[in-house]
Chains A and B, each alone.
Chain A
Amino acid sequence: MKFIEPHGHMVSRTTDDYTKLALSGCMAVCEPAFWAGFDRATAAGFYDYFRQLTYVEPARALKFGLRHYCWLCINPKEADDPVFAREVMSLIPEFLKANNVLGIGEIGLNKNTRNELLIFEEHVQLALLHDLPILIHTPHLEDKRKGTRLMLDALANFPKLAREKVIIDHVEEHTIASVLDQGYWAGMTLYPDSKCSPNRAIDMVELYGKERIWMNSACDWGHSDPLAVPKCALEMRKREHSDEEIEKIIYHNPIHFLNQSPNFARDFPTLNPST
């Protein structure tokens, strides 16, 4: 079964993980820019991170037969200082020229502060300026509900924003309806201890339908599982979802969304009907 890992922090993963992903049918990994587990001391630290995402990691992935794409931004955990955040954001346009960049992400909120929201809105402006898709991180645990609402309210103030080009990630049962109702895509993150379990994600597929939804592992430097997506596919099979339905969620839906990114549309082979 083919799948796409639409959200994996591969710079934190081992070569064994790449091998397992390739063996289990992964066709591409997409890596949003995020927190490294510590706050970077300087904007130059982000300059090097962006180099890693746009030049180093794609070459590493290719050794395992995997395409690697990335999203760029300053993540919400490090965006609470607007002066620093803007310094990092000023580096992004140069890297948008790299041929594996999908869009702006994962932007969002962490502790739902005014500073974070300001930088979130400036990232949305940046994406609009370059006509790129947006990947949005919603906060963890007790902060998710409020953060999701704040961002949906903020996004509603951008009349030119094409909502089908925005995916709001890490949705759970208490946030998914508002995201889908307002026309955005929803990402379900399969995480061992927090976020969503495979069975809860499948419940949401059964309750909310198979449109504008994807699943990801968000594997990173913490306790997480790069094979969470294919493992969830197996659970779907146990719950009598057809192979076609499963492949729609884990392969065709990500392609559908990512195809809105010029670099993905040009590069990913199955998108060309003639191939």
Chain B
Amino acid sequence: MPTRKKLLDLQFIEARHKLIELAAFLDRIDRHSGPDDERLQAMQAVLPILLEKNPGRAARILDGLSDMSEEMLESAPFQGAFGAPMNHTPRIS
């Protein structure tokens, strides 16, 4: 396993790039008008996970962007996915 320093040398610039991309994306969204969007709300809700100290942040962010509903529809109203639940479905733990 590489040392922490080696890993930082390898990947810090890439992670920094992604962090700034995300910040610029949020700025960009703010500069544009339109109704509130559940995708944006879901993203804002998971952002604090980045600052948590315990491992498993990626899994917790994925959970936060997941459909936690229990109910099943008979048939699909559409085929694709949006990246975050788009209807107000009840959450399960």
Size range of the chain A interface in the assembly: 20 to 34
A110–B67 CA distance with the chains assembled, in angstroms: 13
Residues on A with beta carbons closer than 8 Å to the beta carbon of B73: 111-114
Residues on B with beta carbons closer than 8 Å to the beta carbon of A174: 58-60, 62-63, 66
B36 to chain A, nearest CB (A): 18
Given contacts A113-B72, A115-B74, A174-B59, contact A145 B79 (CB under 8 A): no
Residues on B with beta carbons closer than 8 Å to the beta carbon of A2: none
A169–B66 CA distance with the chains assembled, in angstroms: 17
Contact A77 B72 (CB under 8 A): no
Contact B59 A173 (CB under 8 A): yes
Contact A113 B68 (CB under 8 A): no
B70 to chain A, nearest CB (A): 8
Interface residues of B in 2-38 (CB under 8 A from A): 2, 7, 10-11
B72 to chain A, nearest CB (A): 5
A8 sits at the interface (CB 8 A): no
Given contacts A115-B74, A174-B66, A239-B2, contact A110 B83 (CB under 8 A): no
Residues on B with beta carbons closer than 8 Å to the beta carbon of A114: 72-75
A81–B69 CA distance with the chains assembled, in angstroms: 23
B51 sits at the interface (CB 8 A): no
Contact A77 B65 (CB under 8 A): no
Interface residues of A, dominant DSSP? helix
B13 to chain A, nearest CB (A): 13
Residues on B with beta carbons closer than 8 Å to the beta carbon of A113: 72-76
Which single residue of chain B is at the shortest CB-CB distance from A111? B76
Size range of the chain B interface in the assembly: 20 to 34
Which single residue of chain A is at the shortest CB-CB distance from B80? A140
A143–B87 CA distance with the chains assembled, in angstroms: 12
Residues on B with beta carbons closer than 8 Å to the beta carbon of A144: 62, 66
Interface residues of B in 72-92 (CB under 8 A from A): 72-79, 81-86
Q: B-facing mask of A139-152, CB < 8 A → 1, else 0?
A: 11111111000100
Given contacts A142-B81, A146-B69, contact A115 B75 (CB under 8 A): yes
Q: B-facing mask of A85-123, CB < 8 A → 1, else 0?
A: 000000000000000000000000011111111000000
A81–B72 CA distance with the chains assembled, in angstroms: 15
Which single residue of chain A is at the shortest CB-CB distance from B92? A146
Contact B2 A240 (CB under 8 A): yes
Residues on A with beta carbons closer than 8 Å to the beta carbon of B69: 146
Given contacts A110-B79, A173-B62, 17 further A-B contacts (CB under 8 A): A114-B72, A114-B75, A117-B72, A140-B81, A141-B81, A142-B83, A142-B86, A145-B67, A146-B68, A150-B72, A173-B56, A173-B59, A174-B60, A174-B63, A200-B58, A238-B10, A240-B1
Could you list which residues of chain B lie within 8 angstroms of chain A, going by C-beta atoms?
A: 1-2, 7, 10-11, 56, 58-60, 62-63, 65-69, 72-79, 81-86
Could you list which residues of chain A lie within 8 angstroms of chain B, going by C-beta atoms?
A: 77, 80-81, 110-117, 139-146, 150, 172-174, 199-200, 203, 206, 238-240
